[in-house]
Amino acid sequence: MSMQILLVALGVVAGPLIGGLIGGLDRIITARFQSRVGPPILQPFYDVNKLLAKEYTVVNAWQAFCAYSYLAASMISVALFFLQSDMLVIYFVQAVGAIFLVVGALSSTSPYSQVGAHRELLQMLAYEPLLVLVIIGIYIETGSFKISAVYSWDKPLLLKLPFLFVVLGYALTIKLRKSPFDLSTSHHAHQELVKGVTTDYSGPFLGLIEIAHWYDVVLFLCFCSLFWATDIAGMIILISITYFLEILIDNVSARMTWRWMLGNVWAIGLTLSLVNLIWLYQR
């Protein structure tokens, strides 16, 4: 029991710290791609600290509730992963958090917030089925939905599930809000919806959403680590290469329409998933 409490505390505390550092590193690498110096690596923490110090202002009480719920769901999903719990449970918990983010945006009458919320729903419609297929593929290979079973597997899953790892990359790109899938909101200045789904959030509640996003980043990178869970060095290398490719794709891609996103993600993602699942059954 004491070990479980320690793992939960580690996930809750380390999640935003790692997520914030990754965000700072993301900004630096992006700046280098654009021939800029970029901000310090701790800039995300400075930004969130400034937001948390501002006055509490919300459109309505429901919006504040949704911000807290989104953060709680993201925090619980990371804690469950550190407990090496059931992947399906983690999947449903993170999905609930994403829904609360959408509901909070829909509670506002701002047209930017409303359009951003609808685009966020379309993004969920694109990546959620892919996540289910990835989890199913891991279950077929390991015979368990438990993360502990994956970490005790004797061979890297990437060797048997290469196409599903690419599919997970599609979901990761959407969740990281990287181009070409930064439809509902973006950290860049080229978003025509201002801040889209987070337009009407400000101050501490916008800070809570940013912290929740850090948890989401850590969660999806942890899912990537499952594909090379046999040793820590390989796991770190795989995660580093994956995130670098995400930054590269973000800097060389233009944002596309939601129709292109659905068609591209479903056509390629579902095809790769089915091919990999058939391969597992035929071996």
Burial class (CB in 10 A: 0-12, 13-18, 19+), 153: middle
How many other C-beta atoms are found inside a 10 Å radius of the C-beta of residue 273?
23
Question: Does the pLDDT at position 2 exceed 80?
Answer: no
62 token code pair:
């429901």
Q: What local confidence, expressed as pLDDT, does residue 34 receive?
A: 85
- Residue 180 pLDDT grade (very low, low, confident, very high; cuts 50, 70, 90): confident
The mean pLDDT value for 34-46 works out to 90
The Cα–Cα gap between 152 and 84 comes to 11
* pLDDT cut 70: percent of the chain above it: 96
Q: What local confidence, expressed as pLDDT, does residue 220 receive?
A: 94
- Residue 67 pLDDT grade (very low, low, confident, very high; cuts 50, 70, 90): very high
Question: Does the pLDDT at position 5 exceed 80?
Answer: no
Identity at 111, one-letter amino acid code: P
Identity at 176, one-letter amino acid code: L
Q: What local confidence, expressed as pLDDT, does residue 193 receive?
A: 53
**Radius of gyration of the chain from its Cα atoms, rounded to whole angstroms:** 18
Helical segments of 53-107, H only: 61-82, 87-106
- Residue 1 pLDDT grade (very low, low, confident, very high; cuts 50, 70, 90): low
The Cα–Cα gap between 247 and 99 comes to 26
Whose CA is closest to 130, among 29, 271, 281, 253?
271
Q: What local confidence, expressed as pLDDT, does residue 251 receive?
A: 87
Q: What is the pLDDT of residues 114-146, one digit of tens each?
A: 888 999 999 999 999 999 999 999 999 999 999
